[in-house]
Chains A and B, each alone.
Chain A
Amino acid sequence: MPPIPNLTAADFLPLWPAVVLSLAGMVLLLSEVFLKATEREGESVRTYQAVFTVGAAVLAGGLALSLTFEPARAVFLAFAVLDPFSSFITAVACLGLALTALLSDGFLRQRQAERGEFYALLLFATAGMSLLALSNELIMLFVSLEVMSISTYALAAYLRRGPRPTEAGFKYFILGAFSSALFLYGAALLYSASGTTHLAGLASELGRIFADPSSDRRLVVYCGMALVAAGLAFKVAAVPFHMWAPDVYEGAPTPVTALMSVGVKAASFAALVRVFLAIGRHVEPQVPVLLFSTLAILTMVLGNLLALPQRNVKRMLAYSSISHAGYLLVGVTALFVPQARAGLPGVTVLAAGTRADQADALRAILFYLLTYTVTAVGAFGVVGALERREDETRGFGWDVDRFSGLAQRRPGWAVAMAAFMLSLGGIPPLAGFMGKLLVFRAAVDSGLLMLVVVGVLTSAVGAYYYLRVVVYMFMRPPPEQATLAPHQWGTEVALAVTAAAVVLLGVAPGLVTRWLGPAGHLFGQ
């Protein structure tokens, strides 16, 4: 029997956000039992669940933010790390959770589908995201990935009644399980090549393999790397592993879609970055650059082109979410440009690909994830507030026509939605522009000018479909008999917060970027 490791209290420090989230989820599940049958049907009683979830998310997010001041270190025998990067990802996921919970309250009440397990699943999913961000070992990574994914599979099929949620849940589950298997197979191959599942050990072992020109284990490493990349690319919905995203995003309850497009994406990107910074630095340098730049270009181009013909706003946002994964992948690619090879093609290298630039790329990714979180949750919030129950089965509940004349019917929502759309399109002075600017800047610093050119051109394409929503809201008359859902406090609060954040992050990015400094370095990298 192996000796029981000597863990100290300090080892548990990074787990606190996940602990808070999981405990809150369990409390919600238990509290459900004590509600009387009449109360279960009642209107007002259920609001406590949303409030409780928001409270837990804020507490966990605050804990995560306070952890960013802790010195970076390995914990749990290096199975996990405590570093500012993971803490920031947790904070972003908690922000997404809090906003989602606010949106869910009114959304579920309208559909008479308020049950405690919804919020509990949200909390468990977020706990999984938090764990995923700090995993430093492949098995732990896989388990966290599954904690997050299984909760979201269930959430996707939460509204069981229509055919779409069932389809969404089933599709998500099958393809998600498939991608998990890919990841696991890749991890196994990496283990077989290196003899360890610890990322740091993997890194040094790979360094040894690739320093030895006669090593026969390179192919195994590359196969493992490709499979791990494919598995994670599924989770972030990068082309060509994006097929599930539009259907699942469309079929899932809208608040869940919001959380999927932000929290799941943020945590998966964190895992992607952590795994590949460990293994990608030690393989032949052009391989990760080629891998990620191909993924980035495909994702940006196809994500934007496929979004163009969508009249269904929810589906359009799904494709837009794919394209944003592409912009993030540009930032990821910038992490792997080796110093010697950096520079614009044909240009004398002045100085590029230094550690400072890579730190900037990581900070840019974090900032982008934050801006995307507030923007996308806001946009899905408006979409969710506008959809009506009887439309869902017929499939055009989110047609852009529903936005006609919104500026006259609900000016506040219209202005907020316009801000979200323009921010997603990267129009200054909104948050999305700053995110894109910082990511593109990091990429240019690493000499990836071509990627930036593709990114910029595809953003011009993107502006078209984002603007279409603005056109419908502001420039078309409202339909004859348009009924709008009554005001829901949660939705209003969430929209106000996100709209304010979208403007504030665009106008004063320094408020956030000055705290991102230490997050530019992953622990041990």
Chain B
Amino acid sequence: MNAAQLQPYLLTLVVFLPLLGAGLLLFLPREEAGQVRAWTLLAMGVDLALAAVAYLVFDPKGAEFQLEVRRAWSAEFGISYHLGVDGLSVSLVLLTGFLGPVVVLSSWKFIHDRVKEFHISLLLIQAAMMGTLVSLDLVLFYVFFEAMLIPMYLLIGVWGSERRREAAMKFFLYTLFGSLVMLVAILAVYFIGQPAGARSFDYGTIYNSLLSANRQLAACTQGVGCATLSPLALTLQAWGPLMFLAFALAFAIKVPMVPLHTWLPEAHVEAPVAGSIILAGVMLKMGTYGFWRFAIPLFPVAAYQFRPLFVALAVVGIVYGALMCLAQQDVKKLIAYSSVSHLGICMLGIFAFTAEAASGSAYQMLNHGVSSGALFCLFGFLYERRHTRRISDYGGVARVMPFFAASFLVVTFSSIAVPGTNGFVGEFLVLLGTFKASSLWLGYPVLATTTVILGASYMLWMVQRVFFGPIDRPENGGLRDLDLREGLTASAFMVLVLWMGLAPQPFLDRIAPATDRFVARAQLGTPDSAKVKDADVRVTVPPIEGAPPALPQPPVAAVALPR
């Protein structure tokens, strides 16, 4: 069997390898914490290697979805096991893979209680996140999207700090509510687009079936052809906005967009380090990814209608998040609110509907994964030593932990988008693209640009209070610098920050075709829809391999009755 024959199995392996690892852990004795950690690290490492292979195999000039596999899962009900990656999702898969071993390393000494269960949860989350990113069937996507919740809920609720139960419950109910509303929309979009008996939950099939109706509807918003709308277009006209909002609600809670963000600071503060890294690093991106993959392409007209609302919310999030950061006394809460601000930039980039902004937004998703993951991870190292999150309990840490301070500063620079770090590329592209989006009010990008100043203020102020100045507390005097394990983890982040900042092109090349397609699909709902060619947006759907024959329909028999 050569490499090409193995390709269809690659994504399946990426998704299910962590699950295999979790199965393996079940058979380890619970006292052997070291073995548990080592095996988890190994599983995560192999998963990272597989993700890297997928990333390298992905051909930016090739088809939209690559490494595809589509098999019958529950064919009678129109559900197929359909995996595939485009440029954005393969990049996010790589990011998720990268954070896997980091998470294990970062909690190597932090977790002493129920080590085995902790690592099983980590592996389960990893599998669910990978699955969410590569699913091309709506039900499969939903299953993975929801499956992330349970282990994350346990992670916060079992291994979190004082108020963990409330935070876990809030996190769970918030996200569950959003996704349940999305489930209705999934069922509705599945129902309206296709004829009875031949319906399918496949993303591409649904997209293609809605395509011409979306076109008609976009033309109708320009006043062309409203009298001759097809039945499907009429349906979309009436229900499209509601379905879009249902999808958007689920994803906006996940992002989170203001005013649905209130679960995030609590969850971050109470979660253990590993939970925070996963949450900020990958899980929040599921929201932006959902907008990118599902909400906007499936309902471009509705998305265009609601664009002012989402752009405004994104800008409010950017500014509000940054202002909240300035007021925080708690380092983890500060990083959490900075996530609100940074993901506002991602959302702004997505809703600008220009190529620069979209690619900037995609890049910003990766950056935020790296930089906020790194911030939580590094602060976790400090927290392990001092067990306090209050900024005022620190001061002068740089004197006793120089290497740690240096790495924290590099990551801070990435977070505040200093040129030369990865953050700069993403933020710059988003702001540039938003300025170029002719149909948006100029005030939005202007307001969004304040993030550059505000971000620098809150982050640097926090760094100054924690790391510099005199050591006025004796506990801080005896802190030891990072050991080898911690140093390696920190270095990995630093390398990535600089690499992605100095040589962004290889990364952007992977994202570019996905960006073009996304922008074309989004443009379909705008007044420029006529310029979008069908060939640019249509999704190629592979046939289902090994599908069982259709169900037998027994004839309806008449009953002979004694009367």
Residues of A in contact with B (beta carbons under 8 Å apart): 71-74, 77-78, 196, 198, 200-201, 344, 346-352, 354-357, 359-360, 363, 407-408, 411, 422, 427-429, 433-434, 437-438, 440-441, 444-445, 449, 452-453, 456-457, 459-460, 463-464, 467, 471, 474-475, 508-510, 513-514, 516-518, 520-521, 523-525
Q: Does residue B181 face the partner (Cβ distance < 8 Å to A)?
A: yes
Q: Does residue B562 face the partner (Cβ distance < 8 Å to A)?
A: yes
Give, as a whole number of angstroms, the nearest-CB distance from A371 to chain B. 13
Closest to A474 in B: B158
Our pick among A350, A407, A449, A463 for the contact of B232 (Cβ within 8 Å) is A350
Contacts A471-B168, A518-B551 known; 20 new A-B pairs at CB < 8 A: A74-B559, A78-B561, A196-B561, A196-B563, A347-B234, A348-B234, A352-B191, A357-B196, A359-B553, A363-B76, A427-B147, A440-B187, A444-B187, A456-B181, A460-B173, A509-B73, A510-B75, A514-B75, A517-B76, A524-B559
Our pick among A354, A460, A474 for the contact of B154 (Cβ within 8 Å) is A474
Interface centre among B144, B183, B232 (most CB of A within 10 A): B183
Q: Does residue B150 face the partner (Cβ distance < 8 Å to A)?
A: yes
Inter-subunit contact A440/B562 (CB<8 Å):
no
Complex: how many Å from CA A38 to CA B562? 56
Inter-subunit contact B187/A460 (CB<8 Å):
no
Q: Does residue B56 face the partner (Cβ distance < 8 Å to A)?
A: no
Give, as a whole number of angstroms, the nearest-CB distance from A184 to chain B. 22
Q: Given A78-B561, A347-B192, A347-B239, answer yes or no on A475-B158 (Cβ-Cβ < 8 Å).
A: yes
Inter-subunit contact A525/B556 (CB<8 Å):
yes
Inter-subunit contact B561/A440 (CB<8 Å):
no
Inter-subunit contact A198/B181 (CB<8 Å):
no
Interface centre among A457, A474, A475 (most CB of B within 10 A): A475
Inter-subunit contact B165/A441 (CB<8 Å):
no
Residues of B within 8 A of A429 (CB): 143-144, 146-147
Give, as a whole number of angstroms, the nearest-CB distance from A426 to chain B. 8
| B509-563, CB < 8 A from A | 548, 551-554, 556-563
Closest to A441 in B: B187
Can you give 11 contacting A-B residue pairs, CB < 8 Å? A198-B561, A344-B191, A344-B192, A408-B114, A411-B117, A428-B142, A434-B74, A438-B77, A460-B180, A474-B157, A509-B77
Inter-subunit contact B231/A350 (CB<8 Å):
yes
Complex: how many Å from CA A77 to CA B563? 10
Q: Does residue B176 face the partner (Cβ distance < 8 Å to A)?
A: yes
| B210-252, CB < 8 A from A | 231-232, 234-235, 238-239
0/1 interface trace, chain B 165-199, chain A, CB 8 Å (1 if under):
10011001100110011011001101110011101
Complex: how many Å from CA A471 to CA B167? 12
Q: Does residue B139 face the partner (Cβ distance < 8 Å to A)?
A: yes
Residues of B within 8 A of A452 (CB): 184, 187
Q: Given A201-B561, A456-B183, answer yes or no on A510-B551 (Cβ-Cβ < 8 Å).
A: no
Residues of B within 8 A of A449 (CB): 184, 188
Q: Given A74-B560, A475-B164, answer yes or no on A467-B192 (Cβ-Cβ < 8 Å).
A: no
Question: Which 9 A-B residue pairs are closest in the complex by CB-CB distance?
Answer: A517-B551, A348-B231, A428-B143, A351-B196, A200-B559, A444-B187, A510-B74, A524-B559, A428-B146
Our pick among B75, B143, B165, B192 for the contact of A471 (Cβ within 8 Å) is B165
Residues of A within 8 A of B563 (CB): 196, 201
Inter-subunit contact A464/B73 (CB<8 Å):
no
Q: Does residue B72 face the partner (Cβ distance < 8 Å to A)?
A: yes
Q: Given A347-B238, A441-B190, A457-B180, answer yes or no on A356-B556 (Cβ-Cβ < 8 Å).
A: no
Our pick among A346, A354, A474 for the contact of B238 (Cβ within 8 Å) is A346
Give, as a whole number of angstroms, the nearest-CB distance from B384 to chain A. 22
Q: Does residue B430 face the partner (Cβ distance < 8 Å to A)?
A: no
Residues of B within 8 A of A475 (CB): 157-158, 164-165, 168
Residues of A within 8 A of B164 (CB): 475
Give, as a whole number of angstroms, the nearest-CB distance from B304 to chain A. 21
Interface centre among A347, A408, A513, A525 (most CB of B within 10 A): A347
Give, as a whole number of angstroms, the nearest-CB distance from A499 to chain B. 13
Our pick among B77, B231, B556 for the contact of A513 (Cβ within 8 Å) is B77
Give, as a whole number of angstroms, the nearest-CB distance from B181 to chain A. 7
Give, as a whole number of angstroms, the nearest-CB distance from A298 to chain B. 20
Give, as a whole number of angstroms, the nearest-CB distance from A434 to chain B. 8
Q: Does residue B149 face the partner (Cβ distance < 8 Å to A)?
A: yes
Complex: how many Å from CA A449 to CA B552? 28
Complex: how many Å from CA A360 to CA B74? 13
Residues of A within 8 A of B556 (CB): 521, 524-525
Interface centre among B172, B195, B556, B561 (most CB of A within 10 A): B561
Inter-subunit contact A427/B149 (CB<8 Å):
yes
Give, as a whole number of angstroms, the nearest-CB distance from B512 to chain A. 33
Complex: how many Å from CA A354 to CA B198? 12
Closest to A357 in B: B196
Give, as a whole number of angstroms, the nearest-CB distance from A343 to chain B. 9
Residues of B within 8 A of A350 (CB): 192, 195-196, 231-232, 235
Give, as a whole number of angstroms, the nearest-CB distance from A367 to chain B. 9
Residues of A within 8 A of B142 (CB): 428
Inter-subunit contact A521/B146 (CB<8 Å):
no
Inter-subunit contact A524/B197 (CB<8 Å):
no
Give, as a whole number of angstroms, the nearest-CB distance from A299 to chain B. 18
Inter-subunit contact A360/B77 (CB<8 Å):
yes
Closest to B76 in A: A513
Complex: how many Å from CA A71 to CA B554? 9
Complex: how many Å from CA A74 to CA B75? 31
Our pick among A73, A354, A463 for the contact of B172 (Cβ within 8 Å) is A463
Complex: how many Å from CA A464 to CA B173? 7
Complex: how many Å from CA A350 to CA B239? 14
Our pick among A433, A474, A510, A524 for the contact of B143 (Cβ within 8 Å) is A433
Give, as a whole number of angstroms, the nearest-CB distance from B113 to chain A. 10
Inter-subunit contact A517/B74 (CB<8 Å):
no
